[in-house]
Chains A and B, each alone.
Chain A
Amino acid sequence: MKLIYRDQVWELRPGMTVRDAIRKVGLDPEEVLAVRNGQLINEETLTGTDDEIKLIAVISGGGQ
């Protein structure tokens, strides 16, 4: 499965939870939301072989 965050892409083994996948690549699960096929998914969701999961940063530091 693929995990995508900004310009970075990671190939990870399927079968772990989204939370574990986020931690595995060194990110904080509190700071990202996971989207699969355009739908928000919770962090306990198990990842599948063909999944492409995009992580959206939660923190912003000031409006334009």
Chain B
Amino acid sequence: MKCSICGQPAILNLRHHMLRLCAPHFMEWFPEQVARSIKRYRMFGPQDRILVAVSGGKDSLALWDALLRLGYQADGMYINLGIKERSCHSQTSDGLSQPGDYSGKSLERVRAFAAQRPGARYQVVDVAAEYGLNVPDLARRNHRSAKMCSLCGLVKRHIMNRAAYQGGYAAIATGHNLDDEVATLLQNALHWETGYLARQAPVLPSTHPRLVRKVKPLARMYERDSAAYALVQGIDYIYDECPYAEGAKSIFFKKLFNQIENLSTGTKSQFYLQFLKARQQGRIAFPQLEAGEEDDAPRSLLRDCDKCGQPTSSADLCAFCRLWEET
């Protein structure tokens, strides 16, 4: 298999793009695609400061790397959730098994990444140090261990928004890839979660001066391509998924989509992009945003949280502060 551009041996067959690329051309192609998405969806401009949510995984580090290579002012933000491995081991991309804590190893990857890139700045928020409990303990105290992923998401969204707002960033960039997006889209469609279907998009606009715009520059990238970029670029990322994601529905749906993709190349891309297009053209419509979603509720529904001052659609405390109050 040869590179479609130069004829050298290809490392990757991007069937959905009808393109086969060698390593050097793939390393050019990936950031170009990221830049194209940023422009197409008007995510941010060249002068904007961006806060990248980095987890130590392949997607967020690949995104951070691509943004830096494209010349954006992209700072990293790592939230230490205090997650420990549940069983035996976790692998890094070098394949070595190491005992230890998952969050600590993830942070090591972020530090190593930044150390290798002059000018890459990042900040770390340690949830236990700042709030008194790590996220798994918080979940246990709240009897929400079975819903770790949603609780974790709530904590991350709140802390990211606060840091981005206080730091004067124009947008928060996350490493959600196309596989993440289609898995979420299908789950929401299966349950007709119209509120979520109304707002799933590569850009979540700000609805309040203290709610920072959220963007997903990898939303059109296959997860496979994101992983390949991280590998070829020599990014040392956390290889295993979060221990709490084991058996997660999102993984089941990703596997399902891969089976479909084996039979019908390009299905993932079509499913997502045609959904966005149909909604934009009004061929499908969902009710507007509902109360209770603090990220993007309409401005008229938002007021200041009594405790932290962040916008909320609740009567007194935001969901994050309520969580800690109930603990």
Contact = CB atoms under 8 A, between A and B. Distances in A.
Interface in B1-15: 1, 9-13
A11 interface: no
A26 interface: no
Interface residues of B, number: 50
A61 B227 CA distance: 13
Contacts of B10: 42
A64 B103 contact: yes
Contacts, number: 98
Contacts of A39: 11, 23
B20 to A, nearest CB: 7
Interface of B: 1, 9-13, 20, 23, 53, 55-60, 81, 83, 91, 93, 95, 97, 102-103, 106, 149, 152, 175, 179, 223-224, 227-228, 231-232, 238-239, 241-242, 244-246, 248, 250-251, 254-255, 258-259, 261-262
26 contacts: A4-B95, A28-B255, A28-B259, A30-B224, A30-B258, A30-B259, A31-B258, A40-B12, A40-B228, A42-B10, A44-B1, A54-B95, A56-B231, A59-B179, A59-B223, A61-B242, A61-B246, A61-B250, A62-B152, A62-B242, A62-B244, A63-B53, A63-B56, A63-B57, A63-B59, A63-B106
- In the complex, the 8 A-B pairs of residues with the closest C-beta atoms, listed nearest first: A63-B55, A61-B245, A30-B258, A62-B245, A61-B241, A64-B106, A61-B251, A40-B11
